[in-house]
Amino acid sequence: MHRLSPANYQSSETADSSGDKSLGTKIFEAYTKTANVATTLFPLWTVLFTAIALKKPSTFDFFTTEYFTAALAALMLSMGITLTPADFTAVASEPTSVLMQFSLCYAMMPLLALVLGKFFGLEAGLMAGMVLVGSINGGQASNLCTYIAKGNVALSVLMTTATTVGAIFMTPFLCKSLLGAVVPVDAKGIAMSTIQVVLAPIAVGMTANKFFPKLVKAILPFAPVVGVVSTCLLVASAVAQVADPIMNAGIGLQIPVLLLHLLGGIVGYWLPKLTGFGEVKSRTMAIETSMKSSAFGFLLAKLHFGEYIARVPSAVSVVWMALTGSMLAVIWRYIPVKDDE
């Protein structure tokens, strides 16, 4: 599997006979340096786009549902071209990683959300929204953050797919069990969305990687930049739609939501690590566990929870999920992976 950043690439153009670099080589090297810095500053771009969305939500009015879907597809395609079928075959041969992360997503995170909600004394409506955030599937942005963190992208994609499909059953079950609320979920809709914005672009990217390797090699240095831009637009669009609830949420809600994602990432790393999983898999599970599909949680709260206030935790989660995941990704980007996996 490719675990690459723009800085890993060098132009295929060679130096001329005098030993000087060609203009094309110089331009490409300048791009790779700039792209590497831009990718490293992923958390900063997330903060900047979030701030703009909160300050002036109308800035992202142009980013309609069609653009939102296209950006998700672009994000997945940019990850797909870094993968090969062999990567998925290798992951499928060791299903324990997927099962471990599934347990973290649908056992540890809902219980952590419940404990944090009670510890901070959240009222019933906010408590319901908090538990809902803990009970939803992993978000697609986790795949990009895994890529940046030098994790296992193929494993991340499978984990995202598994928890997304699992949301059909697990999210309603957890809400009923922990809250006594019945949350209907559009099973067919989730399945179709997973195919359209996750599996299909990944398949297209892998196919291109297999049959058009020279083309993929040429565009691969642009994949992280496409991923970062797509993710920033996705976060900003989601935040802009719920800017008022986020701004009106007090520190008493901001802190527990932040802790949910931060502690989720910490436990998601150390529990696998202490139970025998390697560094790369542990990083992958940590990011996948920390980064929930908060926008999906907001939609469910809007459609199926009677109190408006139940939507607010998901809205706040959109911000902290993106910041936590991007910061973990950039930190791990510069910590060498010692395991030979």
Residue 263 has a pLDDT of: 97
Residue 233 has a pLDDT of: 86
Structure tokens at 150: 């030098």
Average pLDDT in the 231-243 region? 82
Residue 11 has a pLDDT of: 43
Look at 64-68, 206-210, 231-235 and tell me which has the smallest mean pLDDT: 64-68
Residue 187 has a pLDDT of: 61
Average pLDDT in the 125-129 region? 88
Other Cβ atoms less than 10 A from the Cβ of 201: the count is: 21
Closest CA to 224 of 121, 286, 153, 311: 153
Residue 328 has a pLDDT of: 92
Residue 190 has a pLDDT of: 61
Residue 194 has a pLDDT of: 66
Closest CA to 268 of 117, 40, 116, 112: 112
Look at 77-86, 90-99, 176-185, 331-340 and tell me which has the smallest mean pLDDT: 176-185
- Residue 14 pLDDT > 60: no
Calpha distance 144→152 (Å, rounded) = 11
Other Cβ atoms less than 10 A from the Cβ of 93: the count is: 7
Residue 185 has a pLDDT of: 57
Average pLDDT in the 144-167 region? 85
Look at 70-79, 182-191, 274-283, 295-304 and tell me which has the smallest mean pLDDT: 182-191
Calpha distance 17→167 (Å, rounded) = 60
Calpha distance 160→190 (Å, rounded) = 12
- Residue 3 pLDDT > 60: no
Look at 128-132, 222-226, 303-307 and tell me which has the smallest mean pLDDT: 303-307
Residue 108 has a pLDDT of: 97
Residue 77 has a pLDDT of: 83
Q: Kindly report, residue by residue over 238-286, the tens digit of the pLDDT.
A: 788 878 877 887 888 999 999 999 999 999 999 999 999 999 999 999 9
Of 45-59, 140-154, 227-241, the range with the highest mean pLDDT is 45-59
In one-letter notation, the amino acid at residue 18 is: S
Calpha distance 11→202 (Å, rounded) = 26
- pTM of the full predicted structure? 0.75
Residue 277 has a pLDDT of: 93
Structure tokens at 1: 């599997």
Q: Kindly report, residue by residue over 43-66, the tens digit of the pLDDT.
A: 888 889 989 999 999 999 888 777
Average pLDDT in the 213-224 region? 85
Calpha distance 169→188 (Å, rounded) = 12
- Residue 152 pLDDT > 50: yes
Mean of per-residue pLDDT scores for the chain: 82
- Residue 9 pLDDT > 60: no
Q: Kindly report, residue by residue over 69-79, the tens digit of the pLDDT.
A: 787 778 778 77
